[in-house]
Amino acid sequence: MKRKLLTMALLLALGFVSQAKDIKVTINDLPAKAREFITTYFAKQNVVSIMKDIEDNEFTVRFDDNTKIEFDRRGEWLEVSNKIDCLTTAFLVPQITDYIETNHPGYCVNEIDKERSKVKIDLDNNMELVFRLTGEFLYYDD
């Protein structure tokens, strides 16, 4: 009886461990391209945590100023967000930042999502702008 209970407890514990999808890692575990991106554009912020999604092999880096960056397994940024403060846009192509400064002066960028062929920019006025990766403005999204 004790053996059966012990076996069931062990199987249950293994089930919980196998459900764990994210593990905490260090900055040295990030791909070199992700480390370079952080030191180039976010050097003034302090890293609070780095999590690795072991299923997708993607990384989420959180900073003390509420910025969050998601990277793929190669170290390419996928998403940069901060719902409280304005984000730097220095890593975007100049055509995108020029468009935002010209057509939406005074508004903050709170989220940037990079997809296969597009970049989606969320402003703090709840507008979403969509650009080609080359910087060409495509449309406003709801």
pLDDT single digits (tens) 123-139: 999 999 999 999 999 99
Q: Do domains 20-82 and 86-142 have the same CATH topology?
A: yes
State the architecture of 20-82 in CATH terms. 3-Layer(aba) Sandwich (3.40)
CATH code given to domain 86-142:
3.40.1420.30
Tokens representing residue 68 in the block: 């969050």
- Count other C-beta atoms under 10 Å from residue 82's C-beta: 20
Q: Is the whole-model pTM more than 0.85?
A: no
Give the model confidence (pLDDT) of 77-123 as tens digits. 999 999 899 999 999 999 999 999 999 999 999 999 999 999 999 99
Q: 56-71 in b/e burial notation, b at 16+ Cβ within 10 A?
A: eebbbbebeeebbbbb
